[in-house]
Amino acid sequence: MATALISVYDKTGLLPLAKGLVEQGWDLLATGGTLKALADAGVPVREVADYTGAPEAFGGRVKTLHPRIHGGLLFRRDDPAHVEDAARLGIGPIDLVVVNLYPFEATVARPGATAEECIEQIDIGGPSMLRSASKNHATVTVLTDPAQYGTFLARQAEGTWSLEDRRACALAAFQRTAAYDAAISAWMASGALGEGLPERLSIGLEAKQTLRYGENPHQPAAFYVRPGAPEEGIAACRQLQGKELSFNNLLDSDAAARTVFQFAAPSCVIVKHNNPCGVGRGPHVLEAFLKAQAGDPVSSFGG
């Protein structure tokens, strides 16, 4: 029987995933709130503390940091010495890890969040399991996003879940932990450096939108934002109509949004090549547009 360890803060899709795994014959392990959610729903699940023989400690700071967990994730199934060590130590394989992390980015972005609150949202066990499972992706699957659950269940049932799938999931996990650590280091640096500059700068971004093309039509491009950061400029806007934006469209749109946000009254700005060529303000949007266009009717074409 294959074993899955589930420990998620965001419980979106948890029950369908867990029930699907049980139907496929998986043995489930879980901790804390995940354990309670599964047990309350009648899903057969074992507590990690019972599996490891070590109770949770220090207010939940230590739950899964145990050789039976990380050994079960890391030992190579094709290495006789590893298999022998696992048998000698009583460590069974863990074949699937489902983990998403404490919401550190959202916590530090919340106005009034204290340093203690932020520190308590630094996940330790979750990233550790993600890294262990990802390192051993030759045989272990790691899921970090509810969007992955359905595909995994379907392909697992078909017998088509592959090494390429596991590698892709491992990549996603390492990208997540890298962005998570970048957010933590940025937050700590912001309070420790004063007016100084960091010796190393790590920025974790996530894709918000695929662009039509980059600065030139042959170049691919995407728009990235910082997770948990307040949306401003073009990131705070919603496209109502028109084709996909290109990189140049995005720059122009951002310049336009940042300009028009300076005015309280209905306003319009026309931007071309990242330069405003007309700005208007009036009692209604149409008048604001006509005034903006009158500022430079020639350059406004295509802006």
* CA 173 – CA 203 distance, rounded (Å): 16
Ordered domains of the chain (ranges, CATH): 3-192 (3.40.50.1380), 206-300 (3.40.140.20)
Give start and end residues of each alpha helix (H) in 141-203. Answer: 149-158, 163-192
Residue 133 CA, distance from chain mean position: 17
Active site residue 135: yes
- Split at pLDDT 50, 70, 90, the class of 302 is low
* Residue 166: band (very low, low, confident or very high) from pLDDT cuts 50, 70, 90: very high
Spatial separation of the C-alpha atoms in residues 14 and 275, rounded to whole Å: 48
| pLDDT at residue 71, as a whole number | 94
Candidate list 11, 19, 82, 135, residue with the active-site label: 135
Q: Which residues pair with 269 in a beta bridge?
A: 279
**Residue in the block written with tokens 């939940």:** 60
SS3 75: coil
> Which stretches does DSSP call E strand in the chain?
3-8, 27-30, 46-47, 96-100, 141-143, 206-210, 222-225, 267-272, 275-281
Active site residue 273: yes
| pLDDT exceeds 90 at position 16 | yes
Write down the pLDDT at residue 194: 57
Indicate the DSSP class of residue 219: S
Q: Compute the C-alpha angle 110/172/39, nearest 5°.
A: 70
User: In percent, how much of the chain has pLDDT > 70?
Assistant: 96
Which residue is associated with the tokens 């867990």? 18
pLDDT at residue 15, rounded to an integer:
96
β-pairing, 3-8 vs 46-47, is unpaired
DSSP class of 135: H
> How many residues does this entry show for the chain?
303
pLDDT(192) > 60: no
Indicate the SS3 state at residue 220.
Answer: coil
pTM for the model stands at 0.77
The pLDDT of residue 81 is above 90: yes
Among 103-117, 185-199, 221-235, top mean pLDDT goes to 103-117
Mean residue pLDDT across the chain: 89
Q: pLDDT per residue over 224-267, tens digit each?
A: 888 766 677 788 788 888 889 899 998 888 888 888 888 888 99
Q: Please give the residue that has the higher pLDDT: either 185 or 169.
A: 169
171: pLDDT confidence band, cut at 50, 70 and 90? Answer: very high
User: Contact at 8 Å (CB) between 6 and 38?
Assistant: yes
17-59 residue pLDDT tens:
999 999 999 999 999 899 999 999 999 999 999 898 877 778 7
* Measured distance CA(190)–CA(243) in Å, rounded: 39
Q: How many other CB atoms are found less than 10 A from the CB of residue 85?
A: 13
Q: What is the mean pLDDT of residues 131-149?
A: 97
Which of 5-14, 116-125, 202-211, 244-253 shows the lowest mean pLDDT across its residues?
A: 202-211
Q: What is the pLDDT of residue 239?
A: 85
Q: What is the pLDDT of residue 228?
A: 66
Most confident of 96-105, 111-120, 230-239, 266-275: 96-105
CA trace torsion 195, 197, 198, 201 (10° rounding): 120
Dihedral of CA 36/38/43/49: which sign?
Answer: negative
Q: Is the pLDDT of residue 303 over 60?
A: no
Give dist(CA 106, CA 229) in Å, integer. 8
